[in-house]
Amino acid sequence: MPSTRTRPANNNPGGHGVGNQGNNHGGGQGSGGHHPSNHHPEPSPWLGHPLNPNPQPHETASFVEYLRWMRTPDAQHKEGTRVQLVSHAESRGNYIQRLQEMNRRTRLIAGDSNTFTLTCPWRIRVGGTKGPEEMLLPAFDALGMPYIPSSTLRGVTRAQGVREFMAQGSSRAQAEREIAKYLGDLDAEEKHKAGKIVFLDAYPVATNELKSGGLAVDIANNIWSWEGNNLRYSPNPNLFFSLKQAKFLIGIRKGIHCTDEMLATVKEWLIKGLAQGIGSQINSGYGRLVSEQTLRNSREFLRLPFELKGQLIHGRQTVTWNAAKNRFNNHSIAEVRPVAFKNMMRYWFRAFGLGVLPASEVQEWEGKLFGAITPHPQRGWIQLEILDGKIVQREPQPNHQGKNDPVGQQSGILVLSLSDECPDERKESSQRLFRNLAWLMFHLGGVGQGARRPCYSRRNRDTAPWWRGSTLIPRTNDKFRELPESAREFAELFRRRIKNFFEALATVTGQPINPQQLRICTEPTQQRWTEAVDTHCRILITKVDAERNKPYALAKLHQLGRRGEQYDRFLCGGVGKDVIPSPVWIADSGGYEVVTVFGATADPRRRFVDELRREGAIQIFPLNQGGNR
């Protein structure tokens, strides 16, 4: 059984414990406070108890042990504390011995014939609770080992069994009565009150590559939130733990009065249920557990290979200590995250929806289609995952200093499926809506950092990064990728896709939607606009100029928005204390630049649109104001 004891404190008065285990964050060897160049020692993440000011958790200690010694929330650099602790626990945790023992017990209790291994293609987070400072933690057993409780497996099996009986024509009440014959029910007749199958807790299969069973730092960042009928932009990154690409050993066994046929049926339900996903955020790529023999999701309707170039999608962060400035420096780690694609589809649904529906109805349907927590929890109709997600690097590109600066590149296969929340009578229209929404997402902007700008090189700048923006490219030979050679033909294709989206939206919502009669969300001014494809929005296309280092529309935007060393915040957006998202999206769409301008009827954005049209850009939205007018 692994120990959760701490090693004796060392004699390092700096007390750097976790922060310097295997990492030199600007200090001397093993210490952040003794190097001559340091002005400030790296703060210790520990509480600093007099009896043990610098604890050193054993590698087998669970994360719970780290939380016992975590410094108080009111300490300086508290955000760095959380990142230090979770990063150290992730890199140093070694639960092989304990997990192997739990797997051995599962096989002994269930028997080899009743155990099987399933793999999570991406991440999974089951159960758990809130830790210090609202940190979300997965389910841990009594010794702090990550696991899937047997009650969760039982619940997944019950839900799948009910679905299968209802698919055969049973009512929910009838299906529940049938399930009771296998899994028991307190309201059933006496002989069916107790379940006939025993479910065992499922533990990860630890390997040398996954010593902690896959326990990994994760992040959730709620950027947009509804406040009444208004949207608020306020990024709020939160660290938590999930299990990444973990394998679980699942075990069940016969109980009293259980037959071999009953056990086989329950096993089939369990495997099918786990393939649909368990835990939180299953519609965002989390929670699927599959075997090599598991067939693709029966509700899948779009499978789209893609490539992403530029600043990439980033997940969790790490920190290094900046002794000269007495602060932690954050470093993002690139990861192909399905949730980023789902959030971008959600963003464009909201933007287009606000142009034709009241904000209250957009909020309601956004929750139904994509899921929501407030005003009440909803799972959502769309389920999204990424297969074969990976980070690639292209051939290094020389920058203006003669150094090789590789362009970031990610790839994968985007898969869209309908969840079982989607009503049968709306499946076809929902698929049409999401297909057209995905097409619009790919052709209106990127995903991840720099999504509002196409990938381009800043070769004439002295500061990194030299590569900015994000270009999302579909890698398929079907009509999704096919683009006309003529700009006017492309404009007509784009208008047709927008019309198809609105037609599907009308069918799904049951609302009379006329894209020729747009709403006014907010009367725009210089400093105010709504990110909505409404009557004040303009979408234009122009041909890409291959001779330019910077995309044409972006160069024009920066030319008009330049204010000395700064840019006009109400045209180009701004960073700093008050972040203002740019009202202009520019996408590189296979030889064309697609420019979306919110609040385009007020200066300075109106001047930008007029300049583009004077130089030949074709306006494609609003639909009743096509051409160059």
Q: Residue 546 has what pLDDT?
A: 58
> 306 pLDDT exceeds 90?
yes
Q: How far is CA 133 from the centre of its chain?
A: 21
Q: What rounded mean pLDDT belongs to the chain?
A: 85
pLDDT higher than threshold 80 for residue 612: yes
H or E stretch covering 343? helix 338-353
Give which of 627, 623, 546, 540 is closest to 586, Cα–Cα. Answer: 540
Query: How far is it, in rounded angstroms, from Cα 369 to Cα 365?
Result: 6
At 221 the pLDDT is: 83
What are the phi and psi torsion angles at 227 (to 5°)? -125, 95
Residue at token pair 């995309």: 551
CA distance 39 to 144: 38
CB under 8 Å to 569, separation ≥6 — which residues? Answer: 580
Dihedral angle sign, alpha carbons of residues 115, 121, 126, 129: positive
Residue 440's pLDDT is 97
Q: Is the pLDDT of residue 132 over 70?
A: no
- Collapsed DSSP state (helix, strand, coil) of residue 534: coil
Q: So what's the pLDDT on residue 295?
A: 57
User: Is pLDDT of 388 > 60?
Assistant: yes
Q: Compute the average pLDDT of residues 356-383.
A: 92
Structure confidence by residue, pLDDT tens digits, 34-44: 444 457 888 88
pLDDT for 617 beyond 70: yes
Exposed, middle or buried, 90 (CB in 10 Å: 0-12/13-18/19+)?
Answer: middle
User: Would you state the pLDDT for residue 489?
Assistant: 93
Of the CA atoms within 13 Å of residue 376, those in its CB half-sphere come to 3
* Range name among 209-223, 282-296, 327-341, 349-363 with the lowest pLDDT average: 282-296
DSSP-derived 3-state class of residue 34: coil
Query: Quick check: 22 pLDDT over 90?
Result: no
Give the bridge partners for 542, in sequence order. 593
Strands 300-310 and 408-418: antiparallel
Q: Which two tokens stand for residue 566?
A: 């700064």
| Residues 521/568, Cβ–Cβ less than 8 Å | no
pLDDT recorded at residue 404: 54
* pLDDT band with cut points at 50, 70 and 90 for residue 21: very low
pLDDT at 175: 93
Q: pLDDT-derived band of residue 15, with 50, 70 and 90 as boundaries? A: very low
Could you tell me how far CA 296 lies from the centroid of its own chain? 21
- Asked whether the predicted pLDDT for residue 267 surpasses 50, the reply is yes
pLDDT reported for residue 606: 97
Report d(CA 142, CA 147) in Å as an integer: 11
Encode pLDDT of 487-537 as tens digits: 899 999 999 999 999 999 999 999 999 999 999 998 999 999 999 999 999
Tell me what pLDDT residue 538 has: 98
Look at the pTM and tell me if it is higher than 0.85. yes
Identity of residue 409: Q
Q: Is the pLDDT of residue 110 over 60?
A: yes
Helix axis angle, 172-183 to 260-276, nearest 10°: 120
Tens of pLDDT, residues 592-611: 899 999 999 999 999 999 99
Name which of 123-127, 224-228, 514-518, 622-626 the model is least confident about: 622-626
**Which tens digits make up the pLDDT trace of 423-442?**
999 999 999 999 999 999 99
Using alpha carbons, select from 273, 216, 213, 279 the residue that is nearest to residue 248. Answer: 213
- Rounded distance, CA 583 to CA 354, Å? 15
Q: Which pLDDT belongs to residue 81? A: 78
The larger pLDDT score, comparing residue 386 to residue 221, is at 386
Q: What does the pLDDT average to over 190-201? A: 90
Confidence check: pLDDT of 347 > 50: yes
pLDDT at 264 over 80: yes
Residue 38: what pLDDT? Answer: 52
Asked whether the predicted pLDDT for residue 462 surpasses 50, the reply is: yes
Strands ordered across the beta sheet of 300-310: 382-393, 408-418, 300-310, 470-474
Q: Are residues 215 and 145 in contact, defined by beta-carbon separation less than 8 angstroms?
A: no
At 30, the pLDDT band (50, 70, 90 cuts) reads: very low
